[in-house]
């Protein structure tokens, strides 16, 4: 369904609410059928979605499958395997003054859920939240990103062929359509994107006391300890940072390390870029493009923030920016003023772990914090003395692929969590039930 007037989102929301009130979406059979149908869509039309992701972001086929299509399939399969178990009533102990009573909790679907997706992973970050919303027995309004038009069109074309159109609708469009959607009363709004729009979403939700999940971003640091293997660290940093041309919310945003380690790490990072993307990353099939000219111009404006260690070249016509590493970056350099969300990796030098922890804690809480260290004490300190949405030792980005781990931010990097069982908690109300016989 394509939105063309401000009235249509209201009609869509009303139609789905009428469906929910019939109880149609509550049975386990309906939920599992929708998940299987979603799986069938991705399996049968994977090439269509891969082509759309190539058109929008220059993603190679392997990356499109790994980070978007197969990622979502794993989330579906994990949910199907455990859903009946997750939904079982959970007994609760009863105090002595209620002797003879029984108590338990059940998960109730919330109702009609709005999912607003971003452009950087426009398929995964639309469908993965929908997996949890459908598994929880909700109706869903899906709003794909207009900045990824090929993917949005593919979703709008294919989703109604597979899912229950009385319970699931796609609304395409830009700011006017999103604004019209946010004027409606939903039972939960799930938004992935930036903090500026996140505040708009939260303000709109407040008018109806609608709960929200905000999956935002932030500058995710990577601390590199003394004595680590620079080549091993560099290979993992480069793979995590330059995935999707750096347009990943949990990508390492910058590196914190001491001057001696920085001197060893810089050439290792340059070698790792060449090893992963070749001498000419512009020709590499596994290296994407910047989403549009506005973001390209913003990113190229940050390239002068430090000494170029690797990369630095760019082509506006092709929306190409080479995987770039900057050394000697000052804490107040332009590249450190905002989430980079692109293929630029600054190295900021600190004296030691104490200064690194202070540096992290002086700034907004990040969506992720990464550390490369063999020291158990350093790991304990980073775990106990910092706050972040997720914490990864030795490997960036990978924590979000573990379905049994919650994924979400804290503070400026977001609120709420999802994936696996945590999605059921997000898109359900855990209702308390007590029963005491009359005699």
Kindly report, residue by residue over 95-120, the tens digit of the pLDDT.
999 999 999 999 999 999 999 999 99
Question: Which residues belong to CATH 3.40.605.10 in the chain?
Answer: 7-216+409-435
Residue 215 annotated to the active site: yes
27 burial class (0-12, 13-18, 19+ CB within 10 angstroms)? exposed
The secondary structure of residue 65, as a DSSP letter, is: I
How is domain 221-401 classified at the CATH fold level?
A: Aldehyde Dehydrogenase; Chain A, domain 2 (3.40.309)
Q: Give mean pLDDT, residues 421-439.
A: 96
All residues at 6 or more sequence positions from 425 whose CB lies less than 8 Å from its CB, including other chains: 417
Mean pLDDT of the 153-161 span:
97
Give the residue, 173 or 5, on which the prediction is more confident. Answer: 173
For residue 159, count CB atoms less than 10 angstroms from its CB and return exposed for 0-12, middle for 13-18, buried for 19 or more: buried
Task: Enumerate the CATH 3.40.309.10 domain ranges in the chain, comma separated.
Answer: 221-401
pLDDT for 235-248, tens place per residue? Answer: 999 999 999 999 99
Residue recorded with tokens 């455990």 = 82
Instruction: Decide: residue 428, CB within 10 A, 0-12 exposed, 13-18 middle, 19+ buried.
Output: buried
Whether 177 is a known active-site residue: answer: no
Model confidence at 4: pLDDT above 80: no
In 335-404, beta strands by DSSP E: 344-349, 368-372, 390-393
Q: Which of 75, 139, 177, 249 is catalytic?
A: 249
Parallel, antiparallel, or unpaired for β 254-257 and 307-310?
unpaired
Q: Which of 215, 266, 339, 349 is catalytic?
A: 215
* Predicted confidence (pLDDT) at residue 231 exceeds the cutoff of 80: yes
Q: Which CATH class is domain 7-216+409-435?
A: alpha beta
Q: Is 344:307 a contact under the CB 8 Å cutoff?
A: no
pTM: 0.95
Whether 128 contacts 72, CB under 8 Å: yes
Give whole-number Cα distances, 374 to 89, 145, 194, 313, in Å: 43, 41, 34, 35
């Amino acid at each position: 369904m394509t939105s063309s007037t401000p009235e249509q989102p209201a009609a869509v929301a009303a139609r789905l609410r009428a469906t929910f009130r019939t109880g149609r979406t509550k049975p386990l059979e309906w939920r599992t059928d929708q998940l299987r149908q979603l799986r069938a869509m991705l399996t049968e039309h994977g090439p269509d979605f891969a082509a759309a992701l190539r058109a929008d972001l220059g993603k190679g086929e392997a990356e499109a499958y790994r980070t978007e299509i197969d990622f979502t399939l794993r989330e579906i399969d994990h949910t199907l395997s455990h859903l009946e178990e997750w939904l079982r009533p959970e007994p609760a102990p009863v105090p002595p003054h209620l002797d003879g009573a029984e108590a338990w909790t059940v998960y109730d679907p919330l109702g009609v859920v709005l999912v607003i997706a971003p452009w950087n992973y426009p398929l995964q970050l639309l469908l993965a939240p929908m997996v949890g919303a459908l598994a929880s027995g909700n109706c869903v309004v899906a709003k794909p990103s207009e900045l990824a038009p090929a993917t949005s069109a593919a979703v709008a074309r294919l989703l109604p062929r597979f899912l229950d159109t009385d319970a699931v609708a796609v609304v395409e469009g830009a700011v006017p359509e999103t604004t019209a959607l946010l004027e409606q009363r939903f039972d939960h709004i799930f938004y992935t994107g930036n903090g500026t729009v996140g505040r708009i979403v939260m303000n709109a939700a407040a008018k109806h006391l609608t709960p929200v999940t905000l999956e935002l971003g932030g500058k995710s640091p990577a601390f590199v300890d003394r004595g680590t293997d620079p080549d091993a660290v560099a290979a993992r940093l480069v793979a995590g940072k330059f995935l999707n041309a750096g347009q990943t919310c949990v990508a390492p945003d910058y590196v914190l390390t001491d001057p001696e380690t920085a001197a060893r790490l810089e050439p290792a990072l340059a070698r790792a870029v060449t090893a992963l993307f070749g001498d000419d990353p512009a020709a590499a099939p596994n290296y994407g493009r910047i989403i549009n000219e506005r973001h390209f111009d913003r990113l190229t404006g940050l390239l002068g923030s430090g000494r170029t260690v690797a990369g630095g070249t760019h082509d506006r016509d092709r929306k190409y920016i080479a995987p770039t590493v900057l050394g000697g970056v000052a804490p107040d350099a332009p590249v450190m003023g905002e989430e980079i969300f692109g293929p630029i990796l600054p190295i900021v030098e600190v004296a030691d772990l104490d200064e690194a922890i202070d540096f992290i804690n002086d700034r907004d809480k990040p969506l992720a914090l990464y550390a490369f260290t063999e020291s158990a004490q350093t790991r304990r300190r980073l775990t106990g003395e910092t706050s972040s949405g997720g914490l990864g030792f030795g490997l960036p980005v990978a924590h979000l692929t573990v379905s049994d781990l919650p994924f979400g931010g804290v503070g400026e990097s977001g609120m709420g969590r999802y994936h696996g069982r945590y999605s059921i908690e997000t898109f359900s109300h855990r209702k308390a039930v007590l029963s005491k016989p009359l005699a």
